[in-house]
Amino acid sequence: MNNSEQPLDTLHISKQSAYLIGRQEVIADIHLAHASISSQHAVLQYRAVQISGNNQKTSCQPYVMDLESTNGTFLNGVKIDAARYYQLKRGDVLQFGASTREYVLLTAHTTSLS
């Protein structure tokens, strides 16, 4: 296995409301060193959404947005539009730039806000 095929440790993304993903180690919350990844490539953000059929409850759901990166962000193998939020679901696969690393969203549960 070469270095790009080595499995990474699990990244826990539940402690903050947003995570900046990028190559610029000083400011990125999730630092990715691949040359095709922009300094400030994408953001993962939790956003409150209304639960269908219940006007009183909202749920915090993860979203991804490409920050107009040079080489794009891919959700389940499809390049996403820049500067637009995409809701993530359990099992979704993210890739950044030309890196072959895949990041799979795993969730223990959904947080409900009343």
Considering the domain 15-113 in this protein, what is its CATH number? 2.60.200.20
Residue-wise pLDDT for 62-114, tens only, equals 999 999 999 999 999 999 999 999 999 999 999 999 999 999 998 765 444 43
Q: Annotate 89-111 with b (16+ C-beta within 10 A) or e (fewer).
A: eeebebbbbebebebebeeeeee
Q: Residue 33 and residue 36: Cα distance in Å, rounded?
A: 9
Residue-wise pLDDT for 27-58, tens only, equals 999 999 999 999 999 999 999 988 877 677 88
pTM above 0.75, yes or no: yes
pLDDT of res. 110 = 45
Domain ranges across the chain: 15-113
DSSP structure string for the chain: --GGGSPPPPPP--SSSEEEEES-TTT-SEE---TTS-TT-EEEEEEEEEPTT-TT-EEEEEEEEE-S-SS-EEETTEEPPBT--EE--TT-EEEETT----EE---S--EEE-
Residue 22 exposed, middle or buried by CB count within 10 Å (0-12, 13-18, 19+)? buried
Reported as a pLDDT band with limits 50, 70 and 90, residue 3 is low
pLDDT of res. 11 = 81
